[in-house]
Structure 1
Amino acid sequence: MADPGARVATRGPLRLPEATLAVAWLAWFAAAQWSVVRFRVPILLTLTACTALLAWWLVRRHRLAPGRWLAAGVVLGSVLLTLTVPLFTYLRGGWLSAALTVTTGAGVACAGLLLAPGRRARGAALGVAALAHVVVGALTVLGDRAPRIDVWVILQQGADVTGRLGNVYTAQWSGSPGVQDHFTYLPWMAVLTAPGRWLAGDVRWALLAWGLVLLAGLWALAGGRSGTGRAAAGAAVLVLAPGTLTQVDQAWTEPVLAALLVWWAALVRRGHAWWAVLPLALACASKQHLALLAPVLLVWRPFGWRRTLATGALATVLVLPWVLASPTAFVEDTVTTLLGFHPIRFANTWYLFFLHEYGVSLPFAVTGTAMAGAVGIAAWVVYRRRPPVEELLRWLALVLAVANLVNKQAFYNQFWLVAVLVLASLVVPPTRTAPEPAAGEVTGPGRRGVGASPG
């Protein structure tokens, strides 16, 4: 089935849609940075409008080619927003000044390298982005040794419990400003972040390492060496996105999920769909809400129902030791507590809008229907269209965006993950979609229209 977007691509750059994409990206992150820690109706409206634009893009199926000039402009715009929009961080004094100085310098350097001719300049831009990620992250971890957020406390002490082969679901957390007796993630989030604590004293070092894994995944998804330019643009735009410093400071775990999902997409696109089961299963064994993506993947033929079920089976095996150790505690921490958790007043969602403005708590029938509707529509369209991997990533982003907007709590990190999936879809090299083979016809590597093994 041919991709309608291919017809658009032959007409040259779509300057208005591409400019709209850049503006939407900056607006999304400006609102996200401003949202920590405050609820404002303009923030909610901005996030909602950008989600609507994503849906419109999916309906129209425009194939965009942002180009290096637009990427450089987004990088410089991101630096400007970082410096001007209210930024929440526990860094103070020289540490904060150093982090912002490195961010500014890296932004200017990346923009210049993206505009410079030659592959070496693109490679240098990718290197500068990766270095900026490490340096800004290191300054943040060293400058704020103990962030006052329950996420960091839970992951730190959870790493200690895991190192003793204990059960994080029966542990108590000391000194937490929030949750004190639950581990609200699935168990592999503790496993995948613990090495930072074990080796360097802080789980945030592991999260920085996962950020590098994410950048490597973008490079692989872009086509490796031949896609260095796309990967460099994507890495610079992502590393320098407004609010990144807060993300590191707060020990938010989405870099783990983003790295695993991007590597899943890279493996599928390269024709290794069965190997892609592994990173996807690790992601699903780390955080619950990724289950929302399963129905869409189930009907997407390059991955298919067999691999989706295999992913679920492997994720079940991965979490089974903790389930068997204490079934009641596991369900209480990972399901019951989250369903009954109180709304957090500075979450910029429609649930909080109705609570703040009208004193109404939306029933689960309303929010659940919205989420189920987004999943159902995405699955139906994906089943009918059989889109390439880049469009599929945008459908997954839309599902998560809608879920965020109607939830009791959704913060910068959840909206950041949505943006990563959209960005990943843009680094995928353009492909010509071959006609769909007849039933039973064998397709060779050169005839895979989506760059993936058949489902």
Structure 2
Amino acid sequence: MAAATVALLGGSRGPASWLGRPVRLAARRLGRPTSWLSWRLTWAAVALVVGLGPPLRHPRYYGSGGWAEVADWCSIAAGLLAAAGVVAGLVLAERPAPRSPALSWGLGVLGGRRAFGAVVALAVAAGVATVLAAPDPQIDVFHLLQASSRGLVDGVNMYHQVWLTGQPGDLHGGLVDVYPYLPATSVLLAPFRLLLGDVRYGLLAALVVAVYAVRALGRPGAPWMPVVPLLVLVFPESCYALEQSWTEPLLVACLAVMVWAACRGRGALAVVAFAVALASKQHVVLLVPVAAVWPAFGRRRAAAACGLALVFVAPWVLDDPGAFFHDAVRTNLDYPVLDHSLSVTGWAHHFGVDLGFGTTAVALAAVYLLAWRARGDATGFAAGGALVLLTVVELNKQSFFNHYTLPMALLVLAIATTLAPAPGPGPEPADTDAADPPADD
């Protein structure tokens, strides 16, 4: 996704277009327009991600039996159909050429709403089958979300609860008496826990909301827009992430709705969506400076979202400040560095090198400067936010697959907003290479 975003930004006109400079340089070396190379590289990368990801990467930790097979095959079908939609978009967007009616009809179907709906349905079916295949995964996240969301009905403070499975070696040494998130995570998932018995249905629903929010950002008629939103739902190991109950889908949905609302002039909804994200997981606060310098959102709305998030979290803080600080703040700061962490910090620790917080601070200062340079539109916010979060993940003491899914989703938003309708008439920039497909080769 990073490669696809850089490729697309290389041919865009927005403030974040400088992030695609490598593509512009490569196009000059090839003697081609930037848009010619940008457009092809972007969709080739997208087709590879959605087409090859599910068949090649569908690990199972807890799922087994017939439902696990159903999940695998639905994921593979969704990925291949989405990749076919990319190819259809590429063909349809090329210079018009004589085609048989059957071929034209087939390309139109693959790149249209019916195929989009079919991919969403297949991905949802894969998600449901994943939940059914692993009804009781032995991972702490699942059990703490199940218990905390159920405890809300009884008025139990989630920062006081203990979650045990009653089986030997409970949760494989995971958290049993710590709630490491912010309260909105369990509040959002509580209806699904109460009505359907499993919080993971809420995570799946959040991804569907994100898909349609991203789709609503696109320019009608763009041949690739039926495919771009699917990248937050169909990607390598998507069902594995759902099986583990990782909570990033909630943040993806909130940020997708925030960007859509801000782009459509619905400021109040954008503030609420961002506030819910802030009240769900701690590291979202790192996006506040990026949101504040985005003109469509701005400092006032960023401040309002922070205030609303504080109001949301306040009941749990006031009930027991010590328990809240221990679980939501101190525990996260005190995590040890793991050698098997998928981060530079973990890799360095494996060789006896301690990078320390100073390295993270310097890196964050640098990426905030880059994000500030990319400010100006929704693409700049999404790409800048992805850069900030990706830097934190790379330098975190404990980073795993799920932590990368949020910055990757922001890159999908960057792609979608690059293809969004123009805000209105205005002077053309000096570099007129666009993200649209070229008129000729």
TM-score, normalized by length of structure 1?
Answer: 0.77
Select the residue among 150, 153, 156 that pairs with 1:160. Answer: 150
Pairs within 5 Å for 1:170-185:
170-175=160-165, 176-177=171-172, 178-185=174-181
Q: Structure 1's 64 and 433: CA in aligned 2 closer, same or farther, altered over 3 A?
A: farther
CA change 1:92–1:348 in 2 (3 A) is same
Gaps of 5+ in 2: 9-15, 25-33, 89-105, 166-170, 428-441
Deviations 1:320-369 (A, max 9, x none): 11111111111111111110112233211111111112x23322222233
2:159–2:178 Cα contact (<8 Å) kept: yes
Give the AA of the match of 1:82: P
> What does residue 273 of structure 1 align with?
267
Distance 1:299 1:108 in 2: 39
Residue 355 of structure 1: SS of its match in structure 2? Answer: helix
Q: Does 1:195 align with 2:191?
A: yes
CA shift at 1:230, angstroms?
4.2
1:369: which partner in 2?
Answer: 362
Q: 1:97 & 1:119 partners in 2: Cα distance?
A: 28
Question: Is 1:289 aligned to residue 320 of structure 2?
Answer: no
- Give the one of 226, 230, 239 matched to 2:233: 239
Instruction: Tell me what 1:221 maps to.
Output: 217
2:73 is aligned, of 78, 101, 111, to 101
Aligned-residue offset at 1:72 = 7.7
Change (3 A) 1:391 1:101: same
CA distance in 1, matches of 2:358, 2:41: 46
**How far did residue 127 of structure 1 move?**
0.2
Mind listing any 5+ residue stretches in structure 1 that lack a counterpart?
1-17, 26-53, 437-455
1:29-178, aligned counterparts within 5 Å? 57=19, 71=43, 74-75=46-47, 78-85=50-57, 87-114=59-86, 115=88, 116-118=106-108, 121-175=111-165, 176-177=171-172, 178=174
Give the direction of change, closer, same or farther, for the CA distance of 1:321–1:409 in structure 2 (3 Å limit): same
Say if 2:292 and 2:299, in contact at 8 Å, map to a contact too: yes
String of CA shifts for 1:54-97, please: whole Å, max 9, x gaps. 99735679796976996487346544343335734322243332
Aligned to 2:353: 360
Contact 1:218/1:231 (<8 A) preserved: no
Structure 1 pair 431–24 and aligned structure 2 pair: CA distance change class (3 A): closer
Give the counterpart letter for 1:363 in structure 2.
G
Q: What is the distance in 2 between the residues matched to 1:144 and 1:156? A: 14
Cα distance in 2, alignment partners of residues 229 and 156 from structure 1: 41
Q: What letter is aligned with 2:237?
A: G
Residue in 2 that maps onto 1:388:
377
- Is the CA contact (8 Å cut-off) linking 2:345 and 2:354 kept in structure 1? yes
Q: Check the 8 A contact 1:292/1:375 in 2, yes or no.
A: no
1:405 pairs with 2:394 = yes
Q: From the superposition, tell whether residues 321 and 58 of structure 1 become closer, same or farther in structure 2 (CA, over 3 Å).
A: farther
In structure 1, distance between residues paired with 2:41 and 2:364: 37
- The separation in 2 between residues aligned to 1:59 and 1:228, in whole angstroms, is 24
Distance 1:57 1:64, change over 3 A: farther
Q: Which amino acid aligns with 1:83?
A: P
Rounded Cα–Cα distance in structure 2 between residues aligned with 1:64 and 1:388: 20
Aligned residue pairs: how many? 384
1:252 is aligned to 246
Give the structure 2 partner of residue 208 of structure 1: 204
Cα drift, residue 390 of structure 1: 1.5
Aligned alpha-carbon RMSD (Å): 3.0
CA distance in 2, matches of 1:324, 1:216: 37
Give the residue type in structure 2 aligned to 1:181: D
> In 2 relative to 1, CA 23–105 (structure 1 residues): closer, same or farther, beyond 3 Å?
farther
For residues 384-435 of structure 1, what are the alpha-carbon distances to aligned partners after superposition, in whole Å with 9 as ceiling and x for unaligned?
A: xx42211221011001001110111121112111111111121222527755
Q: Could you say if the C-alpha distance between residues 132 and 71 of structure 1 is closer, same or farther in structure 2, counting changes exceeding 3 Å?
A: farther
Q: Which AA in structure 1 matches 2:194?
A: W
Decide whether the 8 Å contact of 2:6 with 2:20 is kept in 1.
Answer: no
Distance 1:370 1:422 in 2: 19
Alpha-carbon distance in 2 for matches of 1:23, 1:297: 21
1:311 to 291, 305, 308: 305
Deviations 1:26-55 (A, max 9, x none): xxxxxxxxxxxxxxxxxxxxxxxxxxxx99
TM norm structure 2: 0.79
CA gap of 1:390–1:182, structure 2 versus 1, over 3 A, is: same
DSSP-derived class of the 2:296 partner: coil
Partners in 2 of 1:275 and 1:173 — Cα distance?
A: 35
Alpha-carbon spacing, 1:424–1:227, altered in 2? closer, same or farther (3 Å): farther
Percent of aligned pairs with the same residue?
32
CA distance in 2, matches of 1:415, 1:60: 23
Match of 1:48 in 2: none
Counterpart of 2:320 in structure 1 is: 326
**How far apart are 1:306 and its partner, in Å?**
0.8
Please name the residue that 2:438 is paired with.
Answer: none
Q: Classify the secondary structure of the residue corresponding to 1:232.
A: coil
